[in-house]
Amino acid sequence: MNATKVSHESTGTRAWPCVRRVRGVLVPGTLCAALLLAACDSGGSGSSDDGRSARKDTTCDGKIDGTVHLRVWFHAGPSGELSTLKAQVREFNKAQRQVRVELVTLPENRPYTDLVLSAAASGDLPDLLDFDGPNLYSYAWSGKLKPIDSCVPDGVRDDLLPSIRRQGSYAGRLWGVGTFDSGLGLCVRTSALKEAGVRLPAGPDDAWTATELTGILRELREQGYQAPLDLRLVDASPGEEWNTYGFAPAVWSAGGDLIDPRSGGTADGHVNGPESVKALTTMRSWVEEGLVDLVEDDRAFVTGRSAISWCGHWVYGEFDKAFPGDVAIVPLPDFGSGTVTGMGSWQWGIPADATDGDAAWRFLSYLLEPAQVHRMTVANGAIPATNSALKLSTKYAPGGAERLFLEQLRGGFARPRPQTPAYPMITDAFSRAFAKIMLDGAPVQSTLDAAAERIDEDLAAHDGYPTNGP
C-alpha cells in the first residue's frame, strides 16, 4: 500500500510486538518464492567507497504535495525501543501537519521477516520499512526497495558512521540508513581476571589469541568457575541469526569467510575452507573440554557461572548492573589474522511501491537528528549511528565504558555480514551448521561442506544474483 494523500489529520499510533533486535532470519523457501516476484530496476553500475552512486534516483524530489499519511512498520515488540519510537511519532505528528505517521500493528504469531515477504508478495508493504540490515541486499536486488541517494543530503550522509553507510549500500547505491549500529566483544569480570593473573587487553590491537583464551579459560576453571565461558548458546538454535552475527567473526579472524569475498560466486572453499574449519574446531574444543556454559538460560554471566561472555552490546547494561564497576569489554579473540567483530543492525528503507519518498524521508530525517538518535540508543543500549549523536554520550568518549565498540567500528575491525542477495541462504546454512557443530557435536568439515553445498545451490538457482535484479 502506498503513501496516501489525505485532507484530514491522521490520528493514533499503533505498535506491535515481534522479534528481538539481532534476529530476523529469513526462511529460505519463503524467500525463494518472494524473489521470483516482478521487480523494478534494483541495481546499477558505478560505486564509491562511501555508497555515493554514479546514478541518480527519483525517490525524492524535495517536494511534498498536500498532506501525506505515512504507514510505518517497526520490528520490536514491547520494549524500550518501541516505547521510544511511539513517543517520537507522537511528537513528530504534533510538531507539523504535512506528514502524518502511523505505526502499524502486525500479528504477533509470525516472524517479522515472514510478514515483510508476505506483504511484498501481495503489494502491501508500508511506506517506510524497518528491516535487519543484512536483508537489505536481497530486498534491493529483488525490487522491494527504492534507492535513497536522492533523499539523503550530503551533510546527513557524512554524519553517519562509515559502517552505517557501508551496510546501507548495494550495487553502488544507498538503500537504507539506521539510527544505531551494533558491537560485539567479550564482557569479562575484571576481578576474576586479576585473581587469575590474566592481562586485560588494551584494545583491538592487543586482543587475546584463541590459544591464549583457551589457557585463560582453564585457569578460570581452576579458580572455581565451573564453565568460565558464556557463548550465549541459549540463542544458538538452528537458523538463529545470533550464530552468524556472533560467530562469523571467528571465521573471519582465522582468515576464512562464508562466501568468496571477491566474486560472491561460491561458498565452496570458503565457509568450508581450512581456516573456517580451524576456527570452529577450536570453538568446539572449548565445548568438549567443558569450558563453555551449556545451561539453557541466558544468565551464565549475571549469576556468576561464567566470568567471560561472548556477547553483543545489548547485554552490557544488564551485566554492569549485576556487577557494578567489575565488568570490562575486551575484543573477541584473534584466531590468526587479527581480531574481527560484527557490525550492522536494523535499518530503515523506502519500499518500491511507496509514492512519496519525500514524506518518508521527512520522518526518517527527524529520527536521525542527534537528540533522537541519542534517545533511541539510550533506550536500546546500541551504538549511535551518527557522529553528532555520539558526542551526547559519555559511554563512547575516550575512557568510556563502551568505547571499544566505537573503536572497532571506526578502526576497521568490524565487518558486515556478506553483502549479497544470497545472504538469507548464507546465514541459514551457516547458522544451522554452527548449531550442529556446537550443540550436537557434528563433525566440523562435513557439516561445513553441507553448508557450502546449500549456499552454492542457491547461487546457481538465481544465476549468481546479477546486480541488475532477477
- 131 shares a domain with 36: yes
Task: Confirm whether 322 is domain-assigned.
Answer: yes
Task: Confirm whether 470 is domain-assigned.
Answer: no
Task: Confirm whether 397 is domain-assigned.
Answer: no
pLDDT confidence band for 469 (50 / 70 / 90): confident
- The pTM is what? 0.88
- 167 shares a domain with 30: yes
- 109 shares a domain with 23: yes
- 235 shares a domain with 91: no
- 431 shares a domain with 366: no
Dihedral sign of CA atoms 128, 134, 140, 146 in order: positive
- 47 shares a domain with 128: yes
Would you state the pLDDT for residue 79?
A: 87
Quote the CA–CA distance of 305 and 452 in Å, as a whole number.
36
- 189 shares a domain with 307: yes
User: Which one is predicted more confidently, 52 or 412?
Assistant: 412
Mean pLDDT of 192-202: 96
Would you state the pLDDT for residue 190?
A: 98
Q: Between 444-461 and 423-440, two packed helices, what is the crossing angle to 10 degrees?
A: 160
Task: Please give the tally of structural domains in the chain.
Answer: 2
- 365 shares a domain with 259: no
- 284 shares a domain with 245: yes
Task: Confirm whether 404 is domain-assigned.
Answer: no
Task: Confirm whether 406 is domain-assigned.
Answer: no
Residues 232 and 310 sit within 8 Å (Cβ to Cβ): yes
- 311 shares a domain with 338: yes
Task: Confirm whether 123 is domain-assigned.
Answer: yes
Residue appearing with cell numbers 484530514: 8
Task: Confirm whether 177 is domain-assigned.
Answer: yes
pLDDT confidence band for 386 (50 / 70 / 90): very high
Q: Which domain holds residue 435?
A: 184-342+421-461
- Give the tens place of pLDDT for each residue, 137-155: 999 999 999 999 999 999 9
Task: Confirm whether 304 is domain-assigned.
Answer: yes
Give me the CATH number covering residue 287: 3.40.190.10
Residues 181 and 382 sit within 8 Å (Cβ to Cβ): yes
- 432 shares a domain with 378: no
